[in-house]
Amino acid sequence: MSRSFARSQSAQLIAVTSVFFITACGTASMDGPRPDPGNPLPAGVVRDPAAFRASLGAVRPGKGNTRERNSTKCFLWMCSDLSVTIEAIGNTNDIDPANPPPAGTGFPAARLTNNDAKKIEKFYRLRPGTEAEYFLWVTRKNATETQWTLVEVPRVGGQVTAATPTDLRLCNRRMPGEAKTSQADFAQYRHGGECSIEYPDLASGTQPGIGVTTSSISFVQPLLQALQSLLNPRWNVAEGGWIDCSNGCCT
């Protein structure tokens, strides 16, 4: 047996083992960015909850969607459900990822509320709405790219915290004649969570949270996909935020 063949076989074994482990354990590594006191706040956000709410002024959430989400109460791959309401703020059609806001500024695109009295939402670690509310905050990444950050605002006491920022990008272009709507949702409930627009840094073939390339597991890819769908239908579906933006939809 050649060394290259042995390495290939080892990579395949590691890939399969990794996928099985992640799937069986509730896909812990597939969760999204969570607020952490150690993270810096995005531009335009202050630590004091009362001051933050005052800074929003007359801005109020608009059209919302209440969706079923996984909670952190899981046994293997099975997680109990809860509902989260995600509401657009302002006119989301004014947001163009290729034309970010000025440096040092930011604004909210959506508000998220966990409607359960006790359980915590799994992907973002959203606490019950009686304890905190959450905002997707839009800022500049550079001259041609935009990012958004999940911001946690406690209801009583505490300080405002933020997750690490993620890129806000055009996902699917608006079809000719398609009406513009200012709204926010979760990507898993829109277009199957899949984007038609590809970006160079996302085209490496690496599946998020696994750390192995799809080529290394291609020989069992159909089996893995069937297993993932059977054990957890949301495994390969985007659970992050979605908005109707300037030229289509953005995630």
Residue 6 clears pLDDT 60, i.e. is over it: no
pLDDT for 158 equals: 96
What CA–CA distance (Å, rounded) separates 160 from 151?
A: 7
pLDDT band at 45 (very low <50, low <70, confident <90, very high): very high
The mean pLDDT of 160-175, rounded to a whole number, is 96
pLDDT number for residue 177? 87
Say what the pTM is.
Answer: 0.77
**Tens-digit pLDDT profile for residues 207-244:** 332 222 333 334 454 554 445 444 444 333 478 999 99
Segment 68-86 mean pLDDT: 93
Of the candidates 52, 144, 150, 58, the one whose C-alpha atom is nearest the C-alpha of residue 101 is 144
pLDDT > 70: percent of the chain: 74
Give pLDDT, residue 202.
Answer: 60
Q: Answer yes or no: is pLDDT of 63 > 90.
A: no
- Residue 178: the pLDDT is 86
From CA 188, how far away is CA 57, in angstroms rounded? 31
Rounded percentage of the chain residues whose pLDDT exceeds 90: 60
Please check the confidence at residue 184 and state whether its pLDDT lies above 80: yes
Q: Can you tell me the distance from the alpha carbon of 102 to that of 111, in angstroms, rounded to the nearest whole number?
A: 22
Predicted confidence (pLDDT) at residue 137 exceeds the cutoff of 60: yes
Largest CA distance in the chain: 70
**Average pLDDT value for residue range 62-83:** 91
Tokens encoding 157: 């006491």
**Predicted local distance difference test score (pLDDT) of residue 30:** 63
Which carries the bigger pLDDT value, residue 22 or residue 109? 109
3-state helix, strand, coil in the chain (%, to 5): 25, 35, 40
pLDDT at 148 over 70: yes
**CA 107 to centroid of chain Cα atoms:** 18
- CB proximity list for 147: less than 8 A, separation 6 or greater: 100, 138, 139, 140, 141, 165, 166, 167, 168
